[in-house]
Amino acid sequence: MHDVLVVGAGPAGAYAAMRCAERGLDVLLLDAESFPRDKACGGVVGDTAIDFLGRDVLSLLEREGRQNRLFYDWRPIGELDARIYFFKRRKFDHYVVRRAEAAGATLLENRRVTRVDVQRDKVVARANGDAYEADLVVGAEGTNSIVARAIGASPHAHTQKYASIKAEIDLPPEKVAALGIDDPPHQNTYFFSDLMGFGWIVPNDGSINAGYGAFMRHATGLRQRFLDFLAHFDVPAEDVRGAQIPYLPARRVYGDRVMLTGDAGGFVNPWTGCGIDDALEASEHLSAVAKSAADRNDFSATALRAYQDAERDHRRWMQRRGRWMKALDLIFPVGARFPKSFRSIVQLGARLA
Ligand SMILES: Cc1cc2nc3c(=O)[nH]c(=O)nc-3n(C[C@H](O)[C@H](O)[C@H](O)COP(=O)(O)OP(=O)(O)OC[C@H]3O[C@@H](n4cnc5c(N)ncnc54)[C@H](O)[C@@H]3O)c2cc1C
């Protein structure tokens, strides 16, 4: 029997496991896949994640950028100044998993959890025919969380998710140079009058990451649009992967013996669809609450509510941004007629984000 069982070893789960282990708890970390593994993502990380992980993680950095250049219907409309770190998820996620193991957490790979039972005195998770027991379970297995179901949380609504797709493409230096994103390294973000979302291209070391995302309710034909987007830059469609991203926090991220973090709890920046920074921030609070619950041997929902309380400001910020997104339905299509206003709105949103 473990103190904490973490389901999902992405950044949210691996960081929660690492911090719980560092706080002296006995942690079991289960993942359906084996590491290193890839994940559909732009690999764009902000200062928050670097602050939580420490500057050692920068040894994995592909590129560091200071700017996000904005385009509307292919025309440049301005830029945002921002420090952005470009990583490959395969390496980044493996790094956090190794940090969790170094802190003392036990990792079991190729274990897909199919059922979680919360009992009076323990929680039992079943994966590949085996049962794993702990005082507390952390749901960190992404958008379609099985652990969330154990506390009766309904899955993220279709209307509150992005559909997003990316490609990671190896390119010779002259081709990356021709794309104009590596001197100095920066992100290009593309808005279109007929897309409720955006596309991006970022430089990596010897490759690029390109992607496309839109509100689920407007995502019909997204894959073909993305392939056309890649064709516009004359780059091949390699390693194309897609996934859904929630952009509103779950109503409740705790229950008896249960806490949710990362995409499973809807901890994502609604404005950008980026979730790594928010996942680590949530997992930091979660680990503190897990430790104090273990010290008092009280894993009731009443005790674990302290987690949602600690995340109050963060969750309010996400909810406010998420509601704002509704206004974009009106703003996106008219950006072509009022490019300066459109740019100001994007700049304002980014500052608030
Ligand atoms: C195309 C795309 C681009 C994106 N770009 C960015 C970006 O540039 N920057 C950014 O910050 N965010 C980005 N995001 C969002 C980001 O990927 C997520 O917010 C982030 O991965 C959340 O981390 P997580 O640990 O909660 O979940 P994940 O990273 O999804 O990890 C979940 C883990 O759980 C495991 N798992 C799943 N089900 C089970 C199960 N039943 N049992 C056991 N294990 C299980 C999976 O194998 C996985 O390892 C992007 C998303 C997409 C789809």
Q: Token pair 């997104």 is at which residue?
A: 325
Any ligand 1 atom below 6 A from CB of 245: yes
Query: Who wins on pLDDT, 322 or 184?
Result: 184
Structure tokens at 225: 């649009």
**CA-based nearest residue to 264, from 137, 173, 146:** 146
pLDDT tens for 280-300 read 999 999 999 999 999 999 999
Domains and CATH numbers, the chain: 2-352 (3.50.50.60)
**Contact, 182 vs 209, CB < 8 A?**
no
> Could you write out the DSSP letters of every residue in 211-241?
EEEEEGGG-TTHHHHHHHHHHHTT----S-E
Structure tokens at 329: 């339905």
For atom 12 of ligand 1, the residue with the nearest CA is: 274
12 vs 284: CA distance, rounded Å: 9
Query: Who wins on pLDDT, 133 or 351?
Result: 133
Structure tokens at 238: 């390699």
pTM greater than 0.85: yes
264: CA distance to ligand 1 center in Å?
A: 9
**Contact, 140 vs 261, CB < 8 A?**
yes
Structure tokens at 317: 């910020």
Specify the pLDDT at position 156.
Answer: 74
**Contact, 49 vs 84, CB < 8 A?**
no
Residues with Cβ < 8 Å from 223, sequence gap 6 or more? 165, 240, 242
Residues with Cβ < 8 Å from 289, sequence gap 6 or more? 259, 303, 304, 306, 307, 310
**Contact, 18 vs 99, CB < 8 A?**
yes
Does residue 258 register a pLDDT over 80?
A: yes
Best substitution site from 19, 31, 147 to test ligand 1's pocket, by max atoms within 8 Å of Cβ? 31
Give the number of other Cβ atoms within 10 Å of residue 135's Cβ: 21
Q: Considering all CA atoms of the chain, what is the largest pairwise distance in Å, rounded to the nearest integer?
A: 62
| Rounded-to-10 torsion of CA 145, 93, 280, 256 | 30
Any ligand 1 atom below 6 A from CB of 153: no
State the number of CA atoms in the 13 A half-sphere of 4 facing the CB.
38
Specify the pLDDT at position 330.
Answer: 67
Specify the pLDDT at position 201.
Answer: 97
Range among 146-155, 181-190, 214-223, 336-345 rated most confident: 181-190
Any ligand 1 atom below 6 A from CB of 49: no
Specify the pLDDT at position 349.
Answer: 65
53 vs 276: CA distance, rounded Å: 11
Does residue 85 register a pLDDT over 70?
A: yes
Structure tokens at 283: 């997992």
Residues with Cβ < 8 Å from 155, sequence gap 6 or more? 143, 144, 145, 148, 149
Mean of the per-residue pLDDT values for the chain?
92
